[in-house]
């Protein structure tokens, strides 16, 4: 019974008068108390990041013309949108328990790119009625190195970050 009372006192939605709050904590608290506005903000950040990354990849000359096909740029698009949204959620939407660690931040990229490469390489990514992104093996073999390299790069960077964070944690203890 006493543990239940302690949990109620440490509720994340209530202001603690003895603790000086930073502006970031105030924003998090406000977003926790206004869940509908937070949902609208989360949705708008997702769509704005998707449109921004789409414009960056297709509206500029950063990517050469042969690769400006969504079939080849899907892994880069997916990872950049996911990266922007993870940064937003890590800073503004994570609870008061603490910020996301680097290990927690890199973990989803490991699974997203490992499984994503296998599915995109052999099966493609399809919807219910039609195949929206075909298998990489069915595309032009001159250009499939780019999406494969994108998956592998994000996978290896996430793996390296996780290994370094584990090494640093082990060294501290």
Q: Is residue 153 part of a domain?
A: yes
Token pair 């099966």 in the structure block, residue: 123
- Chain-centre distance of CA 154, in angstroms? 12
The pLDDT of 145-151, averaged and rounded, is 93
Alpha carbon distance 131, 125 (integer Å): 7
Dump pLDDT digits (tens) for 1-38: 555 555 444 545 455 566 677 777 787 778 778 888 88
- Domain-located, residue 91: yes
Q: Residue 142: which residues within 8 A CB-CB, separation 6 or more?
A: 66
Total structural domains within the chain? 1
This prediction's pTM: 0.77
User: Do the domain assignments include residue 117?
Assistant: yes
Kindly state whether residue 1 falls inside one of the protein's structural domains. Answer: no
Q: Which tens digits make up the pLDDT trace of 94-134?
A: 765 555 678 888 898 999 999 999 998 888 877 677 668 88
Can you tell me the distance from the alpha carbon of 157 to that of 5, in angstroms, rounded to the nearest whole number? 43
Strand partners, 125: 133
pLDDT of residue 80: 94
How far is residue 4's CA from residue 10's CA, in Å, rounded to a whole number?
Answer: 10
């Amino acid at each position: 019974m006493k543990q239940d009372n302690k949990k109620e006192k440490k509720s994340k939605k209530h202001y603690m008068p003895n603790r000086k709050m930073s502006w970031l904590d105030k924003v998090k608290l406000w977003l926790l108390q206004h869940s509908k506005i937070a949902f609208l903000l989360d949705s708008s950040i997702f769509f704005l990041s998707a449109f921004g990354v789409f414009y960056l990849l297709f509206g500029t000359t950063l990517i050469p013309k042969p690769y400006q096909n969504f079939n080849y740029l899907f892994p880069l698009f997916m990872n950049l949108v996911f990266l922007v949204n993870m940064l937003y959620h890590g800073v503004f939407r994570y609870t008061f328990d603490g910020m996301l660690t680097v290990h927690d931040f890199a973990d989803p990229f490991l699974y997203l790119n490992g499984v994503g490469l296998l599915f995109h390489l052999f099966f493609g990514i399809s919807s219910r009625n039609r195949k929206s992104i075909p298998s990489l093996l069915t595309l032009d073999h001159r250009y499939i190195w780019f999406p494969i390299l994108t998956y592998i790069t994000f996978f290896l960077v996430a793996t390296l970050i996780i290994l370094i964070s584990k090494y640093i944690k082990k060294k501290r203890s």
